[in-house]
Amino acid sequence: MRALLINPYTYDFAAYNFWSAPIGPLRVGAILRQNGFEVYLIDCMKVREEKRKDDGRAPFITQRVQVPPPLSGIQKTFSRYGFSRDELAQALLHVPKPDIVLIGTLFTYWYLGPKEVSELVKSLFPKARVILGGLYVTLCRQHATRSFKACDLLVPHNAIWLLYEYIAREFSIKLPFTPSAFDLDSLPYPCFDLYPQIPFVPLVTSYGCPFRCTFCATPFLFPQTAQRSKGSLLDEVSHWHTLGVEKFVLYDDAFLYRKEVHAKPILRALSDLPFKLQLFNPNALHARMIDEETAFLLRTAGFREVRLGLEGLPRLISPHTDGKLAERDFERAIDYLKRAGFPDDSITAYLLVGLPFQHWKEVKHAIDYAATFHIRIELAEYSPIPQTPLFDAFRTHARYPIEA
C-alpha cells in the first residue's frame, strides 16, 4: 500500500522558515513505513536555498496574491508561501497513485492552504482516503469538520489511534506496529530521509509544560508531561549524524522541567559525544530554571544561541503567565549564560506583545529593561488560540470575528 504525505502551502501576511519542519506527518509516515507502506512526500513549503542561513533558517518562496475580503482593511502584502496550486498538481502527477494521503496542519489561521490542497488531492485521486491531522484539527475540530468536506478523516494530534482504526477498517488489514503518540521512546524517527537534503532535524525530548499560561494551548494539547529517555535521544542524534546532519533544533515546550533528571543528563551526554553538534531552541527556555551548571552544559553540548521567554515580567503581563518569571530570575539566568561563554548577541529574549488590553508603555518598559543586558530582543506577536483561557475571555474584543 502507498501513503503520500503532504506539507501544504499557506497564505499569510508574513512567514519565514524559523527551523520549521512537518515533524508530525513525517512521524506518521515512519509508523506507516514500519507497517509495510510505501511512503512518499511532497513538501509544498519550499524555501529559497540560496538565501538559507548558516544556522539552517531560510525564507519561503512566495507569490503575492489578492487579500481575502474579510482582511481587505489590512494594508500589507498578502502572499502564498510555498508551491502554487498548479505546481502541486504537477507534483502529484509524478508520484505513484496513493491509497491514503495525509495532510498536516499547523497554525489555526493557516487552514486555507490545507483546504485547497485537500480538494485538489480528492479531485486527482478520488479513490484515495484523504486524512487531515495536526494542530488546527486539534484546536478547531468543529471548524475543520465544517470546512474540509474533501477529507475522509480528521485526526487530532492526541488521537492517532483513530488513524490506526480507520486504516484497519477501510483496508481490512491489521497494523502490527501501533505506538502511542505519547510514548516518545517507542516512536520511530521521523522520515526526514525522504528529503534530498536534510538541513536540520528537530528533536523532541518531552511533551507538555508544568505551567498554565492563559495564552498558551500546551496544557490543552498535552494535559500531562512526558519525557524521553537519554538513551533514546542519543540513538536518534547518532542516527542522523551518520547521514550528515549536524544541526538539531529543540522543539520542547519545557526542556528544563525536572532538569536534574532530564535536561542535565541529556546535555552531559551530548557534551561527551565524539562529534560536535549545533543546537538551537526556537521555543524559549524557562529563565528561572537556568542555574550555573545548566548554562555551562548548554554551552558544552553545542547550543549556538539561547532563547529565553521574557513574557512573565511581574510588571508586564504576569496575570497571564502563571507567575513563571521574576526579574531576579531573568537577571540571574543572563549572568549564568554570559559566564558560560555565550556572547551577548547569542542570547535572545522573547517579548509577547499584542495581548488584550496591553498598554504600549508596558511593552516599552520590558524592552528598556531587556536592553540593559545588551542582548537581542524579539517581539512575539500574540495570536488568540482556541482552547485557551485568554481566547475564551477576550474573543468578543477581537478586531475580527474569531471562532473555534
Q: CATH 3.40.50.2300 occupies which residues in the chain?
A: 2-171
Share of the chain above pLDDT 90, in %: 84
How many angstroms separate the CA atoms of 372 and 388, rounded?
33
Tell me what the mean pLDDT of segment 217-242 comes to. Answer: 95
Tell me what the mean pLDDT of segment 302-311 comes to. Answer: 92
Q: Does residue 315 register a pLDDT over 60?
A: no
Tell me what the mean pLDDT of segment 354-377 comes to. Answer: 91
Q: Could you tell me if 349 and 310 are in contact, meaning their C-beta atoms sit under 8 angstroms apart?
A: yes
Q: Topology of 2-171 in CATH?
A: Rossmann fold (3.40.50)
Q: Which run of H or of E encompasses 357?
A: none
Per-residue b or e along 327-362, where b marks 16 or more CB atoms closer than 10 Å to that residue's CB: eebbebbbebbbebebeeebbbbbbbbebbeeeeeb
Please state, in angstroms and as integers, the Cα–Cα distance from residue 154 to each residue in 123, 134, 141, 362, following that order.
18, 9, 8, 41
Give all strands (DSSP E) within 208-264, no chain letters. 226-227, 247-250
Report whether CATH 3.40.190.10 matches the domain 200-397: no
Q: Does residue 320 register a pLDDT over 60?
A: no
76-123 pLDDT, tens digit per residue, is 999 999 999 999 999 999 999 999 999 999 999 999 999 999 999 999
The grid cell for 118 is: 485537500
Please state, in angstroms and as integers, the Cα–Cα distance from residue 143 to each residue in 119, 176, 214, following that order.
16, 33, 22
271-285 pLDDT, tens digit per residue, is 999 999 999 999 999
Q: Does residue 313 register a pLDDT over 80?
A: no
Question: Is 289 or 320 the better-scoring residue by pLDDT?
Answer: 289
- What single-letter DSSP state applies at residue 30? H
Per-residue b or e along 274-299, where b marks 16 or more CB atoms closer than 10 Å to that residue's CB: eeebbbbbbbbbbbbbbbeebbbbbb
Please name the amino acid found at residue 332. Answer: R
258-274 pLDDT, tens digit per residue, is 999 999 999 999 999 99
**Segment among 90-104, 204-218, 303-317, 322-336 with least mean pLDDT:** 303-317
Q: Does residue 317 register a pLDDT over 50?
A: no
Residue for cell digits 544561541?
305
Tell me what the mean pLDDT of segment 372-390 comes to. Answer: 93
What count of other Cβ atoms lies within 10 Å of the Cβ of residue 150? 18
pTM (two decimals): 0.93
20-42 pLDDT, tens digit per residue, is 999 999 999 999 999 999 999 99
pLDDT band, very low/low/confident/very high, at 227 (cuts 50, 70, 90)? very high
pLDDT band, very low/low/confident/very high, at 3 (cuts 50, 70, 90)? very high
What angle do the packed helices 292-301 and 263-271 form, to 10 degrees?
A: 40
Share of the chain above pLDDT 70, in %: 96
pLDDT band, very low/low/confident/very high, at 62 (cuts 50, 70, 90)? very high
302: left (phi over 0), alpha (psi -120 to 50) or beta: left
Q: Which of 298, 278, 342, 372 is nearest to 56 (CA)?
A: 278
pLDDT band, very low/low/confident/very high, at 230 (cuts 50, 70, 90)? very high
Q: Which of 126, 116, 133 is nearest to 5 (CA)?
A: 133
Q: CATH 3.20.20.70 occupies which residues in the chain?
A: 200-397
The grid cell for 110 is: 493557516
Give the burial class of 49: count Cβ atoms within 10 A of its Cβ; 0-12 exposed, 13-18 middle, 19 or more buried.
exposed
Give pLDDT, residue 71.
Answer: 86
Give pLDDT, residue 397.
Answer: 77
